[in-house]
Structure 1
Amino acid sequence: MLRSIRFCLLASFWLFLLLQLRAAQFDLSTATISDLNAAFDSGALTSEKLVQLSLARIDAYDKKGPALNTIITLKDRAAALAEARALDAERKAKGPRSPLHGIVVLAKDVYDTADMPTSGGFKPMATSQPSRDSFVIARLRASGAIVLAKLNQSDWYGVASSGGSTLGGQVLTPYNLKKFPGGSSSGTGSAIAAWFGTVGLGSDTTGSIVIPTALNNLVGFSTTHGLVSRTGMMWSSPSQENGGPMARSVYDCAAVLDSIAGYDPADLATQASVGKLPEAPYTSFVKKDGLKGARIGVLREMIRSGPLHTDGIALGEKAIEDMKKAGAVIVDPVLTGLVLHQTQVDASAYPYEVASAIDKYLSALPPSAPIRSVKEMIEKAPDLVKPAIVASAKLGAPDRNPQFAAALKHQKVLRDALIGVMDKYELDALVLPFRTYRIEDLAGMPKTNRQESRNQLASVTGLPAIIVPGGFFDDGMPFAMEFLGRPFSEPKLITVASGYEAVSAHRKSPATTPALTGEKITY
């Protein structure tokens, strides 16, 4: 009898250990969209519960605690939970629409949403309610995503400080509450870093996706010009404007891209994407050994020198060495023969397009919109409007503007030079540290240093770039690496970026927004 009891106890012990070994672990701070779907499929998680977890984090850390101040408009709680319950029921009855089914998305407040205002952070536009969703938001909703909030940002039209707005105030980064969070998609960067949602949407005119991605330890994609529609999105430069995903993993950015990429007859730039989308999903190009055999060229002409950059250069060299150890063929250096820092500045068409681009967006708003033209904007809020917009309005139509024509020419020269070196050395991608100096405090940050964070190669060339975490400076602020590719080479960039992500594992949650109860599940 005693023997039998001992045997049963021993068997129970080993069964317990086996079950523990087989148990899946879910951690909201690190969970990818794939992890969320596994938890959904097991019944351990529902979309309703995921929305509740996001709402709890926003309540704890956005206006309280570190007060990151990332949210401009939060979807009505009851409506959000009802939407999640409906998606849960649909999943149970029919299966998921896509990997984004029931996933929480946070959108920069430049994307039109039929259920929430779109202000761009500009106080006079606080009540501007679009009549329909933007192309990208509509695509995400059709995929089953829940758009939970509209995010604060560098003011789209106004004079607020970089990383903040006249409507929402200053956004803070959870990695160091005194430092510049990056703009203009500052709210997206900080909110996703603090995992207020699963993925976020940013937009980019002169580095506005890549900068806050780099400064918030995220992965972000500024895609090929023409891959993602701008219809129903506030913009400032038709030749440079891009929308794209920002997330905590390469996989999640790829999953969003699967939903939003493609042709839109209302945005003729997307004609360039026809025939260029991969047959397989973008997520299929995520590979842990993605660096093996990849030919990567180091774009040293964009890497600054001097005492200010010593620590950042060391982090960059470590990253390049890690790529080499992972099997990448490093071509170092590759040289375009251009002064890249100056050429990218000369190639910016934003100053000449901004007024006409804003007029295009405002004129499409419903008659009830508080402002429907740049002229009206300047008349109603003369002290709040960005000087660059006022200056652009004075220039008139850019049709015969020689400076505008020169900027477009510089864009082509720069794009051709970068593609040329990739072709010459048969490269899969170019790589460079995104920035090599410490970001200074928000208070009194010198304009010269702020300008040094302005890596706008992707913006002014229309070439795709992906940012991946690359470590940290000793002040706690993140360091990042940028991979730049040929037009429509997103699949290859996803492969090499996910390969680097796998071998480096530099993603780390910020200490100012710790995990809350219920965010870790064993099932």
Structure 2
Amino acid sequence: MRLSFVLLCLAPVALSAQRPARATFPAETASVHTVRTALASKRITCRSLVQQYLARIEALDKQGPAINSIVLVNPAALQVADSLDAHAAAGKPVGPLHCIPLIVKDNFETRGLQTTAGSLALEGWTPLQDATMVRQVKAAGAIVLAKSNLAEWAFTPYETVSSILPGYTRNPYALDRVTAGSSGGTAAAVAAGFGTLGLGTDTGNSIRGPSAHQALVGIRSTMGLTSRAGVVPLNATADVAGPMARSVADAVTVFDVIAHSDPADTVTAPADARRAVSYLDALRPGALRGARIGVLRQAYDRPTLDPEVKGVFERAVADLRRAGAIVLDTVAVDSLDAIQRLQQGGCNRFKADLERYLAARAPNAPVKTIDQILRSRRFHPTVEPRLRDAAQVTQAPEESSGCQSRERVRSALRVAVTQLMDSLQLDAMVYPTWSNPPRLIGDLNSPHGDNSQLFSPTTGFPAITVPMGYTRQNRLPAGVSFFGRAWSEARLISLAYDYEQQTRHWRVPTLR
């Protein structure tokens, strides 16, 4: 089913959305708290809130500034809203996300909605079930409002372009700039006020990078704390799914719902025993007082570091100190070079992981192999080299010496990072999420500045990005990452929240 056909099918919803019952509520800046308050006071209904978001998508995503972040809108969104209004009228709100409209990256299986991973090869595929994380947020009362664009198959961290949706997704803060990848559609949609919250995935960067480029908060959890079941895979040893939001509190409200064990994803077996009782308890001021934080220069200090990003980060470090943190100017994993030399040969898991995933969905999945995808020619030309490289892999990851050495790198870096933090009694380490501002769309020559690929994905330890300011005439967002030990989400959340409350860098983009 082509996008144009999907949009035609949704035209009645879009037209009704242009006439919201009440348009005084600022949906584009709404938080979970303000939505709850407005619903409780009967300032809005769930239907009127959804109508406002639908009207905003209609006016701004393919028209006007043409953010180009939405692949399709949920045609049942207003019906779900009516059901939630009925629950509320009966005094039975559904859960902590009652009537919170979410933007969901289009690599999450969503029952009744097309799921494509950005590729025409999966066009028209409607999964038979929800991804675990989608099921969790729905059970908590959230509405899947729309599916968002992504870098096709989640391949690139640098830009958001796919074959399922013509053109690039644009950065709402500067329409000529990229959103990063691969969850750039979710980030752009949340930043542009098309929904209250979003879900993305992160293999090396893809929650944190787009969040930093769009002045959002993004959480990549400890591997095993949240489920990936029902998410189209890129690399099963590094894929993590999680929230993207305009505030730490909103991101954590979702995170508290999704951080659980899941029998469908065996890596999450320890989650219930290791998670906090409530991550919302970490949202408290004053957490930075006395906290020990190290500046992890190995993550970002390179010759191409942009001077303005450097300056914004130095101000962020100064803000941490003013808030009472003890900041160590430079901390380092001394054995990092030796650990990285443990990697012997390549490890490309995409073919094995994707084909196992598709086989589990037979006969419902429209393709089953990388070779079928290549023969179909239904993909963006930029991803063909990656698909061809994957097709040439003949060994299962479990039998590959390159993949085995990759696991040795992971294990050694986990030990080294933990020992470093323990030896210095650190609560967290910080670095700029990207060393350079968002590139111009189409520019693949300027330094990209992605700092997210090494430490968190390799160790499987958590990282949270928070807005730290702006560059280029105060226009282009930049983010700071808080990185910590395994299962330390509660501590990282408390530090990130206190920093956010002390600095208040988020602001709404100006869209014309």
Q: TM-score, normalised by structure 1?
A: 0.87
Kept in 1: contact 2:158–2:448 (CA 8 A): no
Amino acid in the other structure paired with 1:69: N
Give the one of 182, 185, 195 matched to 2:180.
182
User: Deviations 1:122-171 (Å, cap 9, x if unpaired)?
Assistant: 01211111111111111111111100111101011789983110111311
**Is the CA contact 1:351–1:388 (under 8 Å) kept in the aligned structure 2?**
no
> Within the alignment, does 1:356 sit opposite 2:349 as a pair?
no
Output the amino acid matched with 1:220.
Answer: G
Mapping of 1:227-376 within 5 angstroms? 227-279=225-277, 281-306=278-303, 308-339=305-336, 351-376=347-372
35 and 109 in structure 1: CA distance in 2 versus 1, 3 angstrom threshold: same
Q: Secondary structure at the match of 2:153?
A: coil
SS in 1 for 2:330: coil
1:444-476 deviations in Å (ceiling 9; x for gaps): 321x62364554421222111100000000151
Q: Distance in 2 between matches of 1:349 and 1:61?
A: 46
Q: How many residues align?
A: 484
Which of these residues, 103, 114, 118, is aligned with residue 106 of structure 1?
103
Alpha-carbon offset, residue 392 of structure 1: 2.8
Q: Which amino acid aligns with 1:187?
A: G
Q: Given the alignment, which residue of 461, 467, 470 partners 1:463?
A: 461
**Structure 2 vs 1, CA of residues 127 and 307 (structure 1 numbering), >3 Å: closer, same or farther?**
closer
Contact 1:206 1:240 in 2 (8 A): yes
- Residue 210 of structure 1 corresponds to 208
Evaluate the alpha carbon distance shift between residue 332 and residue 157 of structure 1 in structure 2; reply closer, same or farther with a 3 A threshold. Answer: closer
Q: State yes or no: 1:156 paired with 2:160.
A: no
> What SS does the aligned partner of 2:133 have?
helix
Are the structure 2 counterparts of residues 142 and 441 from structure 1 closer, same or farther at C-alpha, using a change threshold of 3 Å? same
User: Is 1:377–2:373 an aligned residue pair?
Assistant: yes
Counterpart residue number, 2:6: none
Larger radius of gyration: 1
Residue identity in the other structure for 1:278: A
Structure 2 CA distance for partners of 1:165 and 1:330, relative to 1, 3 Å:
same
Q: Is the 8 A contact 1:199 1:245 kept in 2?
A: yes
Cα distance in 2 between the residues matched to 1:250 and 1:482 = 13
Say if 2:125 is the partner of 1:128. Answer: yes
C-alpha distance in 2, partners of 1:353/1:36? 42
Q: Deviations over 1:172-213 (max 9, x none)?
A: 111111112110001011000011001000001111111101
CA distance in 2, matches of 1:334, 1:383: 43
SS in 2 for 1:225: coil
Rate the CA distance shift 1:348–1:295 in 2: closer, same or farther, 3 A. Answer: farther
How far residue 338 of structure 1 moved from its aligned partner, in angstroms, is: 4.2
Cα distance 1:452–1:220, how it changes in 2: closer, same or farther (>3 A)? closer
Deviation of 1:498 after TM superposition, in Å, equals: 0.4
Distance 1:339 1:408, change over 3 A: same
Distance 1:319 1:286, change over 3 A: same
Report 1 or 2 for greater relative contact order, CA contacts < 8 Å, sequence distance ≥ 6.
Answer: 1
Shift of 1:400: 2.4
Secondary structure of the corresponding residue to residue 113 of structure 2: coil
**Where in structure 1 are there 5+ consecutive unaligned residues?**
1-24, 514-523
Counterparts in 2 of 1:259 and 1:159: CA distance versus 1, 3 Å: closer
Q: Give the CA deviation at 1:437.
A: 2.1
Cα separation, 2, equivalents of 1:350 and 1:230: 24
**Contact between 1:344 and 1:456, CA under 8 Å: does it hold in 2?**
no
Distance in 2, Cα, partners of 1:501 & 1:349: 42
Give the C-alpha shift of residue 346 in structure 1.
8.1
Q: What's the counterpart of residue 394 of structure 1? A: 392
Q: Does 1:83 align with 2:114?
A: no
Q: Offset at 1:43?
A: 1.2
Q: CA deviation at 1:98?
A: 1.9
Give the C-alpha shift of residue 29 in structure 1.
Answer: 3.7
> 2:137 aligns to what?
140
Amino acid at match of 1:193: A
Closer, same or farther in 2 for the Cα pair 1:495/1:371, shift >3 Å? Answer: same
Separation in structure 1 between the aligned mates of residue 238 and residue 346 of structure 2, nearest angstrom: 8
Instruction: Call closer, same or farther: CA 1:297–1:52 in 2, change over 3 Å.
Output: same
Alpha-carbon spacing, 1:193–1:157, altered in 2? closer, same or farther (3 Å): closer
Q: State whether residues 119 and 378 of structure 2, in contact with CA within 8 Å, keep that contact through their aligned partners in structure 1.
A: no
Aligned-CA RMSD value: 2.4
Q: Which residue of 1 aligns with 2:13?
A: none
Deviation at 1:413? Answer: 2.0
